[in-house]
Amino acid sequence: MQIADVLHALSDPQRLGIVRSLAEDPTPRRCGSFDLPITKSTLTHHFRVLREAGVIDQREVGTARLNSLRRKDLDERFPGLLDAVLAGSSNPAVTASV
């Protein structure tokens, strides 16, 4: 997990909205449960960027991919970073659709 990769992953409003949503509710969520005004392929790209940066963890359960925030890992490696980034952005880009 590199700081430049994490910051890049968090720099996009859509990805930041995904992270904010996962931070507010730590329950692992399916990719399709995020209400984003983007195409499925773009959503897949955003999840890949977050996963490869080490921000989220994805695990397959049947045909679903469940996403969870790697909060503990991020806080251990970069103390206070996630809280600062989330506090500094006041415009959530994502809402949950259950």
CATH architecture type of domain 3-90? Orthogonal Bundle (1.10)
Is the separation of the CB atoms in 18 and 85 below 8 Å? Answer: no
Q: Taking the model in full, what pTM does it have?
A: 0.85
Does pLDDT of 96 surpass 70?
no
Of 18, 73, 74, the C-alpha closest to 49 is 18
Tell me which amino acid residue 20 is.
R
pLDDT for the residue numbered 95: 46
For the chain, what are the domain ranges?
3-90
- pLDDT single digits (tens) 13-66: 999 999 999 999 989 999 889 888 899 899 999 999 999 999 999 999 998 899
How many CA atoms, within 13 angstroms, populate the side-chain half-sphere of residue 66? 9
Mean predicted confidence (pLDDT) in 71-75 = 96
